[in-house]
């Protein structure tokens, strides 16, 4: 029987260059990998340290990361791992959700519990998770006290194929059914998703779950198909100088922007480097939404999204295709609590030191 060759539909929303063996097929290009700076400029730029004066995030707020899997063996991420409170590792489906022993999420690539995966992880998901919620003195995420639900979708090369759409729909449904408040989709699709994925995204929106997706990395007009829906927040990327990142896609569907160029992130074996791509802009938005919901748990998902968009830092001049402005964590969290935005950064508690290893 002739082997079926499924079309590659894409995967990662990053630009990279590193000491890793090769650039994954389907990525949009590369840039140089540099040592991470001592202070995370991107976290400071969105004013997350000022927001921490109100909240550093709540362990009750869960962000589902549908990506290439998260390496929770790294101490910077170990403390933010979501645990399914209704499941035990006993070979039974205790919570009757259709997934046996899904104590820490599910691997939709290997079709096993997330902690029993069989194939190597691509580092993309771990890097995204670190921007969201890493706890380290020299590398810290936007919301380091929240919890991350690990839903692996991409293969070991950071790709997915036409046959995988159903697994993406299942991963979205899993996140909604198991208590995620936010879904981070740092994925690029080369073709419009089928109806079952659109319906899963719509179900998430109808349940008040916020879905954050990326504009894409082709540096052109036209947004990644996964980010074109009205019930998805589409994120473009900026650089250190608040300019549109040269690689970022743009379009009328983009809701807002966030830093996405030379973002400090965790890499394999706990190395720290910088990566670029709209993949790393999205977790700034997901993390800020998590801070907003942590500060005011009574807000619905749509209300939190409105707060986020209403408090964006406006562009100094018109910037078509890059949304309302730059995400502002301090202003968003303060608005969620009807407080003035804190002026001073707060110290971060419960961190590890990245460099002492």
Structure tokens at 155: 């293969």
Catalytic pick among 122, 124, 181, 284: 124
Burial of 356 (0-12, 13-18, 19+ CB in 10 A): exposed
Q: What is the pLDDT of residue 9?
A: 52
Closest CA to 289 of 136, 152, 180, 153: 180
pLDDT tens for the chain, 357 residues long, are 333 334 445 566 555 433 232 232 222 222 233 344 344 899 999 999 999 999 999 999 999 999 999 999 999 999 999 999 999 999 999 999 999 999 999 999 999 999 999 999 999 999 999 999 999 877 899 999 999 999 999 999 999 999 999 999 999 999 999 999 999 999 999 999 999 999 999 999 999 999 999 999 999 999 999 999 999 999 999 999 999 999 999 999 999 999 999 999 999 888 899 999 999 999 999 999 999 999 999 999 999 999 999 999 999 988 999 999 999 999 999 999 987 777 667 766 554 433 222
Closest CA to 223 of 259, 190, 191, 253: 253
Domains in the chain, start-ordered, CATH in brackets?
A: 8-336 (3.40.50.200)
Q: Assess contact for 122 and 24: CB atoms under 8 A.
A: yes
CA distance 250 to 224: 9
The 3-state secondary structure of 292-312, one letter per residue:
HHHHCCCCCHHHHHHHHHHCC
Q: What's this model's pTM, rounded to 2 decimal places?
A: 0.89
In the DSSP assignment, the letter for residue 73 is T
Report residue 340 CA to chain centroid gap. 28
Closest CA to 10 of 320, 258, 218, 252: 218
286 a catalytic residue = no
Length of the chain counted residue by residue: 357
181 a catalytic residue = no
Q: What is the pLDDT of residue 230?
A: 96
Could you tell me which residues come within 8 angstroms of residue 115 by beta carbon, excluding any fewer than 6 positions away? Answer: 103, 104
Residue tagged 């919620």 (tokens): 133
67 a catalytic residue = yes
Residue 13: CB atoms within 10 A of its CB come to: 34
pLDDT in tens, 226-256: 999 999 999 999 999 999 999 999 999 999 9
CA distance 13 to 8: 14
Q: What is the pLDDT of residue 159?
A: 96
Q: What is the pLDDT of residue 29?
A: 23
Catalytic pick among 67, 101, 107, 150: 67
The 3-state secondary structure of 96-161, one letter per residue:
CCCCCCCCCEEECCCCEEHHHCCCCCCCHHHHHHHHHHCCECCCCCCCCCCEEEEEECCCCCCEEE
Q: What is the pLDDT of residue 138?
A: 72
pLDDT in tens, 177-211: 999 999 999 999 999 999 999 999 999 999 999 99
Q: What is the pLDDT of residue 339?
A: 75
Catalytic pick among 68, 130, 279, 294: 279
Structure tokens at 196: 């079952």
CA distance 61 to 160: 28
Structure tokens at 168: 């993406």
Q: Assess contact for 217 and 281: CB atoms under 8 A.
A: no
Helix (H, G, I), strand (E, B) or coil at 212: strand
């Amino acid at each position: 029987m002739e082997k079926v060759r499924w079309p590659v539909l894409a995967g990662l929303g990053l630009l990279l260059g590193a000491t890793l063996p090769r650039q994954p097929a389907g990525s949009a290009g590369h840039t140089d990998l540099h040592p991470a700076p001592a202070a995370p400029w991107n976290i400071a730029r969105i004013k997350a340290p000022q927001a921490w004066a109100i909240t550093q995030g709540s362990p009750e707020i869960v962000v589902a990361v549908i990506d290439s899997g998260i390496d929770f063996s790294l101490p910077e991420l170990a403390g933010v791992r979501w645990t399914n409170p209704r499941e035990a590792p006993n070979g039974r489906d205790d919570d009757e959700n259709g997934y046996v022993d899904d104590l820490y999420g599910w691997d939709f690539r290997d079709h096993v519990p997330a902690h029993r995966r069989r194939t190597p992880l691509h580092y993309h998901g771990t890097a995204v998770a670190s921007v969201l919620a890493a706890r380290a003195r020299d590398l810290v995420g936007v919301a380091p006290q929240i919890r991350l639900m690990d839903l692996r979708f991409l293969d070991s090369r950071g790709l997915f194929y036409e046959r995988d759409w159903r697994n993406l729909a299942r991963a979205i449904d899993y996140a909604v059914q198991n208590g995620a408040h936010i879904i981070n989709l740092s994925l690029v699709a080369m073709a419009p998703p089928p109806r079952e994925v659109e319906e899963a995204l719509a179900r998430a929106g109808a349940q008040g779950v916020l879905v954050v997706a990326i504009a894409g990395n082709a540096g052109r007009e036209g947004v990644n198909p996964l980010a074109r829906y009205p019930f998805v927040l589409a994120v473009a990327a900026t650089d250190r100088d608040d300019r549109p990142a040269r690689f970022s896609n743009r379009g009328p569907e983009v809701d807002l922007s966030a830093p996405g160029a030379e973002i400090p992130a965790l890499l394999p074996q706990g190395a720290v480097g910088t990566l670029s791509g709209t993949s790393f802009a999205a977790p700034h938005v997901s993390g800020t939404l998590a801070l907003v919901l942590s500060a005011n748990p009574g807000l619905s998902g749509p209300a939190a999204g409105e707060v986020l968009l209403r408090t964006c830092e406006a562009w100094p001049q018109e910037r078509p295709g890059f949304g309302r402005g730059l995400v502002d964590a301090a202003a968003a969290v303060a608005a969620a609590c009807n407080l003035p935005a804190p002026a001073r950064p707060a110290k971060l508690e419960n961190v590890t030191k990245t460099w002492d290893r």
